[in-house]
Amino acid sequence: MRTIRMLDEARDEFDAILDYVLDKHGILTEKKVYDDILQRILLLSTMPELGTLDTNLHYQNKPVRILHSKHTRIIYTIRDTEIVIVMLWNNQQDDRKLNEILKKR
Q: Which CATH number do you get for residue 41? A: 3.30.2310.20
**How many domains are there within the chain?**
1
Query: Residue 67, Cβ neighbours under 10 Å: how many?
Result: 20
> What's the pLDDT at 93?
85
Asked if 105 contacts 87 with a C-beta cutoff of 8 angstroms, the reply is: yes
Tens of pLDDT, residue by residue over 63-77, are 999 999 888 999 999
> What's the pLDDT at 100?
84
Low-confidence ranges of the chain (pLDDT < 50): none
- CA-CA distance, 10 to 29, in Å (whole number)? 20
> What's the pLDDT at 78?
96
> What's the pLDDT at 5?
97
**Residue range(s) defining the domain that contains residue 84:** 3-103
> What's the pLDDT at 45?
93
Q: The pTM is what?
A: 0.91
